[in-house]
């Protein structure tokens, strides 16, 4: 008899050692969202952010190229920049060493008096950066495969579902703090076995739940569904004749902590998870994007509606599940794996558990 496949042990969600392994080995070797290219419209524009406990910044250099660096001076390690802004040169606040926007050291007080000092050899430490239709991702692993190999087809599919994607700018951000391990929040996003019972608006308003499916596409989990034939109940106007994806919904979760989601009307929104300080803390940022006044109004309205329905409904679920993971009474249960896939199957969870094990088990 075939044995079912069991869910991960509770310790994957509660053990601070496993959390440390994930930060050091998973977050530091996968593609992590940094920010949006529209934040760097002009040469010298920069913003800071952090990945896997590292302070980083993105900047547009004089030639217009986007770059990412560790936020650390190559003299005696002071941080170079704070928050966001525009700089003609990068001047370290400690001893005023000055760098070009390309990262190259330009000068420092009295450095030329030092025998053997070679200015040419000193450059900020760069980080791999990719631009996916204006969405900037970094990878701390210099040997990492490019995003198109991790997530095959996603670049083309996004352009197809959001024809104006390169003109988008961030409109609305909703920050949601959850008292749960990041993987629980990601798993909750990645299955719709819980949707009928927990998301009445989503399951009756937009999509046809019986057609919902989630399948791996490389290290992407692709959600597809048919939408209700009559979208006139939607709370915003949709011009179905605008293009042939205008009536569609889809989503692309990019392992481990980011997702693009497209609502009918080619409305793009994102999920971006950031681990908290402790193993059972995560922050989820919902991003909403628009390209003109009308789409901005729609994005704002949807952001509010989403926060009051799906988001609020999911917080209760993921926080309860975290409490359960600490329970001595929890023995991991079998995943529901329908060979035909579909909305009531957890094959996407199987993929997430497998990717988690790949990242963690070798270091246990
Ligand atoms: S640490 Fe930056 S100039 Fe000394
Ligand atoms: Fe949910």
* Partner residues linked to 286 by β-bridges: 174, 271
**3-class SS string, the chain:** CCCCCECCCCHHHHCHHHHHHHHHHHHHHCCEEEEEHHHHCCCCEEEEEEECCEEEEEEECCCCCEEEEECCCCCCCCCCCCCEEECCCEECCCCCCEECCCCEEEECCCHHHCCCCCHHHCECCEEEEEEECCEEEEECCCCCCCHHHHCCCHHHHHHHHCCCHHHCEEEEEEEEEECCCHHHHHHHHCCCCCHHHHCHHHHHHCECHHHCEEEEECCEEEEEECECCCHHHCCCCCCCCCCCCCCCEEEEEECCCEEEEEECCCEEEEEEEEECCCCCCEEEEEEEEECCHHHHHHHHHHHHHHHHHHHHHHHHHHHHHHHHHCCCCCCCCECCCCCCCCCCCCHHHHHHHHHHHHHHHHHC
Whether residue 277 lies inside any domain: the answer is yes
Sheet arrangement for strand 98-99: 90-91, 98-99, 105-107
**How many structural domains are present in the chain?**
2
For residue 95, how far is its CA from the centre of ligand 1 (angstroms)? Answer: 5
Domain boundaries, position 84: 32-139
- Residue-wise pLDDT for 294-347, tens only, equals 999 999 999 999 999 889 999 999 999 999 999 999 999 999 999 999 999 999
Last residue of a domain, one of 71, 105, 139: 139
What CATH number corresponds to the domain at position 222? 3.90.380.10
Using an 8 Å Cβ cutoff, are 44 and 29 in contact?
no
Residue 80 reports pLDDT greater than 90: yes
For residue 191, how far is its CA from the centre of ligand 2 (angstroms)? Answer: 8
Are residues 135 and 160 both part of a single domain? no
Closest ligand to the CA of 110 = 1
Task: Give the pLDDT confidence score for residue 227 in this predicted structure.
Answer: 87
Which residue, among 129, 135, 126, 134, has the nearest Cα to 254 in the 3D structure?
A: 135
Closest ligand to the CA of 93 = 1
Residue nearest to atom 4 of ligand 1 (CA): 95
Closest ligand to the CA of 72 = 1
Q: Which atom of ligand 1 is nearest to the CA of 76?
A: 1
Percent of the chain with pLDDT over 70: 99
Are residues 169 and 117 both part of a single domain? no
- Please tell me the pTM assigned to this model: 0.96
Cα 333 to Cα 329: distance, rounded to the nearest angstrom? 12
Q: Which atom of ligand 1 is nearest to the CA of 80?
A: 2
For residue 192, how far is its CA from the centre of ligand 2 (angstroms)? Answer: 7
For residue 139, how far is its CA from the centre of ligand 1 (angstroms)? Answer: 26
- Residue-wise pLDDT for 81-112, tens only, equals 999 999 999 999 999 999 999 999 999 999 99
For residue 71, how far is its CA from the centre of ligand 1 (angstroms)? Answer: 12
Are residues 185 and 120 both part of a single domain? no
Last residue of a domain, one of 74, 104, 139: 139
Are residues 216 and 358 both part of a single domain? yes
Whether residue 17 lies inside any domain: the answer is no
- CA distances (Å), 5 to each of 111, 290, 351, in order? 63, 42, 11
Residue 70 reports pLDDT greater than 70: yes
Are residues 120 and 260 both part of a single domain? no
Residue nearest to atom 3 of ligand 1 (CA): 95
Mean pLDDT for all residues in the chain: 95
For residue 122, how far is its CA from the centre of ligand 1 (angstroms)? Answer: 12
Are residues 200 and 329 both part of a single domain? yes
Using an 8 Å Cβ cutoff, are 145 and 256 in contact?
no
Residue 204 reports pLDDT greater than 90: no
Residue 65 reports pLDDT greater than 70: yes
For residue 311, how far is its CA from the centre of ligand 2 (angstroms)? Answer: 7
Q: Which of 46-50, 79-83, 230-234 has the lowest mean pLDDT?
A: 230-234
First to last CA, the chain: 31
Around ion ligand 2, residues with a beta carbon closer than 5 Å are 314
Task: Give the pLDDT confidence score for residue 203 in this predicted structure.
Answer: 66
Cα 285 to Cα 258: distance, rounded to the nearest angstrom? 10
Q: Which atom of ligand 1 is nearest to the CA of 108?
A: 3
What CATH number corresponds to the domain at position 121? 2.102.10.10
Last residue of a domain, one of 106, 139, 172: 139
Closest ligand to the CA of 311 = 2
Ligand 1: residues whose CB is within 6 Å? 73, 75-78, 92, 94-95, 97
Using an 8 Å Cβ cutoff, are 246 and 239 in contact?
yes
Which residue, among 206, 186, 223, has the nearest Cα to 342 in the 3D structure?
A: 223
Q: Which atom of ligand 1 is nearest to the CA of 73?
A: 2
More reliable by pLDDT, 201 or 137: 137
Q: What angle do CA 130, 174, 135 make, to 5 degrees?
A: 10
Are residues 187 and 134 both part of a single domain? no
């Amino acid at each position: 008899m075939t044995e079912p496949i069991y869910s991960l042990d509770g310790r994957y969600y509660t053990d601070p050692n496993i959390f440390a392994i994930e930060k050091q080995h998973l977050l530091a070797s996968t593609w992590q969202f940094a920010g949006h290219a529209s934040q760097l419209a002009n040469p010298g524009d920069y913003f800071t952010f952090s990945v896997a406990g590292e302070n980083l910044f993105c900047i547009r250099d004089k030639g217009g190229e986007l770059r990412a660096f560790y936020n650390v001076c190559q003299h005696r390690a002071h941080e170079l920049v704070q928050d966001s802004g525009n700089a003609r040169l990068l001047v370290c606040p400690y001893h005023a060493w000055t760098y070009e926007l390309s990262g190259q050291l330009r000068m420092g007080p009295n450095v030329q008096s030092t025998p053997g000092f070679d200015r040419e050899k000193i450059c900020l430490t760069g980080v791999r950066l990719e631009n996916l239709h204006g969405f900037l991702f970094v990878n701390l692993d210099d040997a990492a495969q490019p995003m198109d190999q991790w997530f095959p087809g996603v670049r083309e599919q996004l352009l197809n579902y959001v024809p104006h994607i390169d003109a988008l700018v961030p409109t609305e951000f909703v920050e949601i703090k959850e008292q749960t391990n990041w993987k629980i929040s990601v798993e909750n996003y990645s299955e719709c076995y819980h949707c009928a019972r927990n998301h009445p608006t989503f399951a009756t308003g937009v999509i046809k739940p019986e057609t919902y499916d989630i399948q791996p596409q490389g290290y992407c989990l692709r959600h597809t569904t048919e939408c209700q034939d009559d979208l006139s109940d939607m709370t915003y106007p949709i011009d179905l004749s605008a293009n042939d994806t205008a009536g569609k919904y889809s989503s692309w979760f990019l392992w481990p902590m980011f997702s693009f989601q497209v609502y009918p009307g080619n409305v793009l929104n994102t999920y971006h998870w950031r681990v908290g300080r402790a193993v059972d803390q995560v922050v989820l940022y919902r991003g909403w994007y628009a390209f003109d006044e009308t789409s901005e109004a729609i994005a704002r309205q949807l952001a509010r509606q989403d926060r009051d329905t799906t988001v609020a409904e999911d917080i209760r679920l993921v926080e309860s599940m975290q409490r359960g993971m600490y329970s001595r009474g929890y023995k991991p249960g079998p995943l529901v794996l329908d060979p035909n896939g579909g909305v009531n199957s957890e094959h996407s969870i199987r993929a997430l558990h497998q990717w988690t094990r790949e990242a963690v088990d070798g270091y246990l």
